[in-house]
Amino acid sequence: MLSERRLQVLRAIVQDYVGTEEPVGSKALTERHNLGVSPATVRNDMAALEDEGFIAQPHTSAGRIPTDKGYRLFVDKLAGVKPMTPPERRAIQNFLDGAVDLDDVVARTVRLLAQLTRQVAVVQYPSLTRSTVRHVELLSLAPARLMLVLITDTGRVEQRMVDCPAPFGESSLADLRARLNSRVAGRRFTDVPGLVEDLPEAFEAEDRGTVSTVLSTLLETLVEENEERLMIGGTANLTRFGHDFPLTIRPVLEALEEQVVLLKLLGEAGDSGMTVRIGHENAYEGLNSTSVVSVGYGSGGEAVAKLGVVGPTRMDYPGTMGAVRAVARYVGQILAES
Amino acid sequence: MLSERRLQVLRAIVQDYVGTEEPVGSKALTERHNLGVSPATVRNDMAALEDEGFIAQPHTSAGRIPTDKGYRLFVDKLAGVKPMTPPERRAIQNFLDGAVDLDDVVARTVRLLAQLTRQVAVVQYPSLTRSTVRHVELLSLAPARLMLVLITDTGRVEQRMVDCPAPFGESSLADLRARLNSRVAGRRFTDVPGLVEDLPEAFEAEDRGTVSTVLSTLLETLVEENEERLMIGGTANLTRFGHDFPLTIRPVLEALEEQVVLLKLLGEAGDSGMTVRIGHENAYEGLNSTSVVSVGYGSGGEAVAKLGVVGPTRMDYPGTMGAVRAVARYVGQILAES
DNA sequence: CCTGGCACTCTTCGCACGCGAGTGCCAGAC
DNA sequence: GTCTGGCACTCGCGTGCGAAGAGTGCCAGG
């Protein structure tokens, strides 16, 4: 077990390293933090910390830098979450209050997070899993060509082309439209598949193919709509990553382009409370030299989506966590109001 | 005026520099391109080209690299557009054919362009300004509440809520829907106002208020929802920019985050034909070390939006232009089909 | 107008060297 | 036991220098 002072030494190392970006030595430590002991003592502590794998030296005769394990301990035990100052809070609220619609809320949130943390921000759109169908519209564009329009209670509209296997009469169309709406209007997305399953049976044989096609397109649309989208911003902050640029930054940019990767990343984070994934704790190896701080947010008590930031493992964890938490909180408020 | 051979020398310099990323000297030139003259002669030509400002040397006793002016001449006079090979064409078509909706078309286009050119791709969503109305749909959500759905020929769908001043019967609704569509379907946005002006007169007094409301909402949608959006991709290709990383890449990333900047950038490009903006020709100074190749695309003969790529001034212009043109062409086809 | 030759200029690279930061260890003090 | 001061040792980093090499500009001759 590590003594109290050794933990303090680790904390000091993390803080200094985050500030200076340079390996920190025993002498500098005793000068900048009054630990009340001499450099020699600190050296012993450092040796112990290194044995335990919390810190490492890039090369002999250099100072120490924290390892992922060191950051982990720091985040878990040694550092709190730095609360935002009142002016910061006001700024956040003012900025988010100006949003006009959902897209705008998300866009502003991304900007805000990126600015506050000076890192890359990722914001997931509020999930639609609980949304319902308001209306389904079918329009005939050509004899064997329909357009399917889906309107959700969140005001979102999705449309799809449907190529019919056979011409579909106007009366059949009206019939299908009416039956479809009476079954699914007001229902949750997840319930729809079961509700329309037997619909083709109500139609003439010649129309069944088309009906099935329409239905499967509808189901596809629902699934896709349900699919999470996200927005990222602040990529310019990647330039502050480190000196060994190209190699570090490239896989990160690639990861950021793969929304699937990011969604999985956010998805893996715990549902409640803030999650910090440090370096190799990230499953995606392109992000092995980054840390991801994420948290759920939502309109009610429930989290409907996540947001977070991606930055170098050498980041200001307390500050970042404070900003992420505060932003999530205010976004939740905004969503609840609208 | 520059002699024919000097132009050839310039062309060779550009080609070699693009390939090697290193200043090219007189000797290497004569070896790799059989110009039929000796290095000494080439040196004289180079001196002349340098006097005219087409090439420059990073430092004395280094080879020459093209200046922006040199690239300009190269693009205008010395290089053609390299056509895609048949297999490439097929690949493009196949890839784009898989798209399910407009968002998907745009997303795929971005990926495709980024992959083909190995640069940053920018695709603007089809604009509504020059498109035509395919269909207007009116849905009754509540007795005095309608939803107006506008479908454009580019596959874009916009929707609006309409609060009616008075309840609006189902038959009136059908009537309005029919009249509206017969007047505006297939017409350009800009023509719509004149076409629907007198529509309220055809209705009973009690419905006129609602009809007017619907019409003004429609006109609003046509005008206001002309908001331009765009999608970017391939930012990971920025890592191939050069050796002097952070300084070059940072402003580019910043520019890419500012959609306004990008839209202006694309907007400034000529409406017809391909536009190449090289280095300092770009108004936005963050992009002074990049070139932008853009072209309009559209469903018919007319361009409804632009797409393009952003890359280092040292890029393969013929290849890039070929890819951009080909992609624009196929996207246009896809849009026309759907 | 082209060509070969030549002198000149710079950059780059390798290498040796010294400095300084930082470490590990040990003997002694509290 | 724990902390401290001292000391020898290790390396990385910056500097200076010299050689090598690439490339140029210019000139005289074909």
Q: How many other C-beta atoms can be found within 10 angstroms of the C-beta atom of residue A21?
A: 13
Whole-prediction pTM value? 0.81
Give the mean pLDDT of A71-98.
94
Highest mean pLDDT among A164-178, B19-33, B122-136: B19-33
- Sign, Cα dihedral of A7, A11, A13, A14: positive
pLDDT at B1: 61
Give the mean pLDDT of B196-221.
88
Give the mean pLDDT of A287-301.
86
The band of A109, judged by pLDDT with boundaries at 50, 70 and 90, is very high
Q: What DSSP assignment string belongs to A88-136?
A: HHHHHHHHHHT--SHHHHHHHHHHHHHHHHTSEEEEEPPP-TT-BEEEE
Contact B236 A220 (CB under 8 A): no
Contact A239 B257 (CB under 8 A): no
pLDDT at A186: 82
Distances in Å between the Cα of B231 and the Cα atoms of A238, B83, B286 are 20, 25, 19
Q: How many other C-beta atoms can be found within 10 angstroms of the C-beta atom of residue A194?
A: 10
- Residue of chain A nearest B186, judged by CA positions: A141
Q: CA–C1' span, B59 to C10, in Å?
A: 8
Q: What DSSP assignment string belongs to B110-178?
A: HHHHHHHHTSEEEEEPPPSTT-BEEEEEEEEEETTEEEEEEEETTS-EEEEEEE-SS---HHHHHHHHH
| Strand C nucleotides within a 7 Å radius of protein CB atoms | 2-5, 8-11, 20-26
Element (H, E) at A162: strand A157-163
Superfamily of segment(s) B86-126+228-337 = GAF domain (3.30.450.40)
Question: What are the chain A neighbours of B170 within 8 Å (beta carbons)?
Answer: none
- Distance of residue A135 Cα from the nearest chain B Cα, in angstroms: 8
Q: CA–C1' span, A227 to C7, in Å?
A: 72
Give the mean pLDDT of A204-216.
89
Q: Which residue is nearest to nucleotide D13 (CA to C1')?
A: A62
Q: Is residue B144 within 8 Å of residue B173, measured between CB atoms?
A: no
A4-78 architecture in CATH? Orthogonal Bundle (1.10)
Q: Which residue has the higher pLDDT, B321 or A135?
A: B321
Q: Does B257 lie at the interface with A, CB-CB under 8 angstroms?
A: yes
Q: A212: which 2 tokens?
A: 């099935």
Residue B74 carries which DSSP code? Answer: I
Q: Which residue has the higher pLDDT, A110 or A59?
A: A110
Instruction: Read off the pLDDT of residues A44-79 as tens digits, 9 standing for 90 and up.
Output: 999 999 999 999 998 888 889 999 999 999 999 999
pLDDT at B44: 93
pLDDT at A102 over 80: no
CA distance A146 to A160: 8
Residue B244: how many CA atoms within 13 Å on its side-chain side? 6
Beta bridge partners of A122: A232, A308
Treating both helix axes as pointing N-terminal to C-terminal, what angle do A39-51 and A4-20 enclose, rounded to 10 degrees? 90
The band of A303, judged by pLDDT with boundaries at 50, 70 and 90, is low
pLDDT at A225 over 80: no
CA distance A125 to A230: 5
**Which of B68-72, B169-173, B278-282 shows the lowest per-residue confidence on average (mean pLDDT)?**
B169-173
pLDDT at A36: 84
Closest nucleotide to B36 by C1' from CA: C2
Contact B135 A137 (CB under 8 A): no
Average pLDDT, chain A: 87
On the question of a common fold for A4-78 and A86-126+228-337, the answer reads: no
Instruction: Read off the pLDDT of residues B237-284 as tens digits, 9 standing for 90 and up.
Output: 998 876 666 677 889 999 999 888 998 888 887 777 899 999 999 999
End-to-end Cα spacing for chain B:
51
Q: Is residue A45 within 8 Å of residue A6, measured between CB atoms?
A: yes
pLDDT at A156: 67
pLDDT at A297 over 80: yes
Q: Which residue has the higher pLDDT, B324 or A188?
A: B324
Report H helices in chain A.
4-20, 26-32, 39-51, 68-73, 86-97, 102-117, 170-184, 192-196, 205-226, 245-257, 259-268, 317-337
Task: B76-79: list long-range contacts, CB under 8 Å, 24+ apart.
Answer: B77/B7, B78/B7, B78/B10, B78/B11, B78/B14, B79/B11, B79/B14, B79/B317, B79/B318
Give the residue among B75, B90, B156 at the shortest CA–CA distance from B319.
B75
Highest mean pLDDT among A158-172, A240-254, A313-327, B165-179: A313-327
pLDDT at A244: 60
pLDDT at B226: 58
Q: Which residue is nearest to nucleotide C2 (CA to C1')?
A: B41
Give the residue among B316, B293, B332, B320 at the shortest CA–CA distance from B93.
B332
The band of A239, judged by pLDDT with boundaries at 50, 70 and 90, is confident
Strand C–CB B59 distance below 7 A: yes
pLDDT at B73 over 90: yes
Give the mean pLDDT of A136-157.
77
Give exposure, B174-209, as e/b (b: 16+ Cβ within 10 Å): ebbbeebbebbeeeebeebeeebeebbeebeeebbe
Instruction: Read off the pLDDT of residues B20-47 as tens digits, 9 standing for 90 and up.
Output: 989 999 998 998 888 888 899 999 999 9
CB < 8 Å from B in window 197-236 of A:
220, 224, 233-236
Q: B202: which 2 tokens?
A: 């055809």
Given the structure tokens 């999650």, which residue do they identify?
A275
pLDDT at B26: 92
CA of residue B254 relative to chain centroid, distance: 19
Contact A246 B257 (CB under 8 A): no
pLDDT at B245: 63
- Residue of chain B nearest A254, judged by CA positions: B236
Distances in Å between the Cα of B27 and the Cα atoms of A6, A325, B39, B49, B63 are 64, 62, 5, 16, 10
Q: CA–C1' span, A280 to D22, in Å?
A: 46
Average pLDDT, chain B: 87
Beta bridge partners of A306: A296
Ramachandran area for residue A253 (φ above 0: left; ψ -120 to 50: alpha; else beta): alpha
Spans of all domains in chain A: 4-78, 86-126+228-337, 129-225
Q: Is residue A228 within 8 Å of residue A303, measured between CB atoms?
A: no
The band of B118, judged by pLDDT with boundaries at 50, 70 and 90, is very high
| Phi, psi values for residue B209, rounded to 5° | -60, -45
pLDDT at A330: 93
CATH 3.30.390.60 holds for B129-225: yes
Highest mean pLDDT among A304-318, B189-203, B293-307: A304-318
Give the mean pLDDT of B169-192.
86
Q: CA–C1' span, A27 to D5, in Å?
A: 14
Q: Which residue has the higher pLDDT, B88 or A205?
A: B88
The band of A90, judged by pLDDT with boundaries at 50, 70 and 90, is very high
Contact B101 A158 (CB under 8 A): yes
pLDDT at B318: 97
pLDDT at B55 over 90: yes
Strand D–CB A157 distance below 7 A: no
Amino acid at A57: Q
